A and B are shown apart, each in its own frame.
Chain A
Amino acid sequence: MSHCVEFEDKNVEMAVKKACEELNIPREKLKHDVISYGSTGIFGLVGTKKARIRVTLPKPSPKVVFETSNKGQQNENSDEQTLESVDSQIEISHDEGEDHRVAVDPRDLGREALQKIIDLITTDATISIEKRSNRIVFNVRGGNSAVLIGKHGQTLEAIQYLVEKIVNKNRKGRVGIHIDVEGYLEKRRMSLQRLAVNMAEKVKSTGKPAAIGQMNAHDRRIVHIALQDDNMVRTQSKGEGFLKKLVIFPKKNSSRKQN
């Protein structure tokens, strides 16, 4: 008669994986019977059941079981240790008290996170940091800047968003993060302002509203601000989701007001 051990986890696959890890047996050699498949219940809230499997051990010796399960735990521990060394910054903030969390310099944290992301996308890019009142500006130079910026700057926006998330996690206040690649932000701002003024001229001469499509929040803001002092037109965002249209309307009574 062979020895049996039961494992349970969220589903059968995970239970098998857990069994393999704890017993140090490759998956192909693991002999198991499924006792129950488990269920996630209704919306994963009510009636969750764990999956159970029974693993048949090749050698029916309780001593072996004890040793191997210990080994499994050691492996897990060493895994955790390597993780700790990888994100030492974050681990420090986890280990130490609340007071120390704030002490982690957002510049270092942001730089580390940004460098990791950038290194994955391109090589030989360097970062310089500028600190302005309550935000931090990271300037990226070198590497393949076209890929870093992406279509309409969407990769840049994504990187900026994630770095901001990482920096502001475990912080009391909020720091703004701006990431610029070879002066892209400024270039984009200039070209959008030029576009805004041109469109406004067109609206004024035709008297009909005109739309600029597919704009993200940052781009729309630039156009709104560029045209807010122009009292011949008004601007409005239209549509749903993260990319909206921006419509420029002529103001009908503007001439009357001026007279």
Chain B
Amino acid sequence: MKDLIKHIVQTMVDEPEEVEISEIEGDQSTVLKLRVAKADIGKVIGKKGRNVRAIRTILSAASAKEKKHTVLEILE
């Protein structure tokens, strides 16, 4: 899961080496914390949050089979 999101984000940003994701797992939900280069934050979020919404939709579909919730946070 983490690797896929990292891969997707890396293809969207200008500085793929700066992409960092940490995962905090709980019983009910998993929190993914995403950190990218400052200039790339806008690219990850997208126009009116369109990019990040698409990523979150895919995450929730992917975690549905494990009956868990996954939260994606973008840190700055």
User: Which A residues form the contact surface with B (CB < 8 A)?
Assistant: 40, 44, 80, 83, 86-87, 90, 113, 116-117, 120-122, 144, 147-148, 150, 154-155, 157-159, 161-162, 165-166, 169, 241-242
Contact = CB atoms under 8 A, between A and B. Distances in A.
A169 B76 contact: no
Contacts of B11: 87, 90, 113, 165-166, 169
A157 B57 CA distance: 9
A121 B62 contact: yes
Contacts of B10: 87, 90
B64 A147 contact: yes
B58 A162 contact: yes
Interface string B1-44: 10110011011100011000000000000000000001000000
Interface string B34-76: 0000100000000010110111011001101100000000001
A150 B50 contact: no
A112 to B, nearest CB: 10
B51 to A, nearest CB: 7
A162 B55 CA distance: 8
A122 B7 CA distance: 18
Contact of A144 (B7, B17, B65): B65
A158 B76 CA distance: 24
Nearest to A154: B57
Given A150-B61, A155-B61, A166-B8, 14 more contacts: A40-B76, A44-B76, A87-B10, A116-B4, A117-B4, A117-B58, A121-B62, A147-B61, A155-B58, A157-B54, A162-B8, A162-B58, A169-B12, A242-B50
Given A121-B65, A147-B64, A165-B12, A158 B7 contact: no
A37 B20 CA distance: 21
A242 B48 contact: yes
14 contacts: A44-B76, A86-B3, A87-B10, A120-B4, A121-B62, A147-B65, A150-B57, A155-B57, A158-B57, A159-B58, A165-B51, A166-B11, A169-B12, A242-B48
A141 B3 CA distance: 24
A121 B8 contact: no
B31 to A, nearest CB: 16
B54 A148 contact: no
A11 B8 CA distance: 26
Interface centre among B57, B61, B65 (most CB of A within 10 A): B61
B51 A121 contact: no
B7 A162 contact: no
B67 to A, nearest CB: 12
Contacts of B65: 121-122, 144, 147
Given A121-B61, A121-B62, A148-B61, A87 B7 contact: yes
A86 B7 contact: yes
Nearest to B57: A158
B22 to A, nearest CB: 10
A116 B58 contact: no
Contacts of A161: 50, 54
Q: Which has the most chain A C-beta neighbours within 10 Å: B10, B11, B38?
A: B11
